[in-house]
Amino acid sequence: YTYIHTYIHTYIHTYIHTYIHTYIHTYIHTYIHTYIHTYIHTYIHTYIDTYIHTYIHTYIHTYIHTYIQHTNVALYCIYYILVFLFSPSEFSLTAVSIKECFWESSWKQFN
């Protein structure tokens, strides 16, 4: 009886421990890793990427708009041409800016 009890207890304990360790640990590890990876990736992509893009875009736009516009109109025009080429979403806005830019540069030249 003691032998059988010990054997069954040991077998069950070993089996359950192995099962829990292997399956549940793997499942939890996979789930948590996937969840954390997905969450962090989504967070980084959504918040940080948007923040960085907005900050850099705003900073560059503000800097170029204020500094270059008042110092060198030609560089200001080049900036808008670059925005026009690399930001199709701002196509119409930039097209107007390019026109204004060249109008302003020609106006500054002759006045």
pLDDT, position 48: 74
pLDDT, position 110: 44
Over residues 57-83, the pLDDT tens digits come to: 777 777 766 766 666 666 667 776 776
How many Cβ atoms sit within 10 Å of the Cβ of residue 102?
15
CA distance 75 to 60: 13
Over residues 10-48, the pLDDT tens digits come to: 888 888 888 888 888 788 888 888 888 888 878 877 777
pLDDT, position 40: 80
CA distance 2 to 67: 89
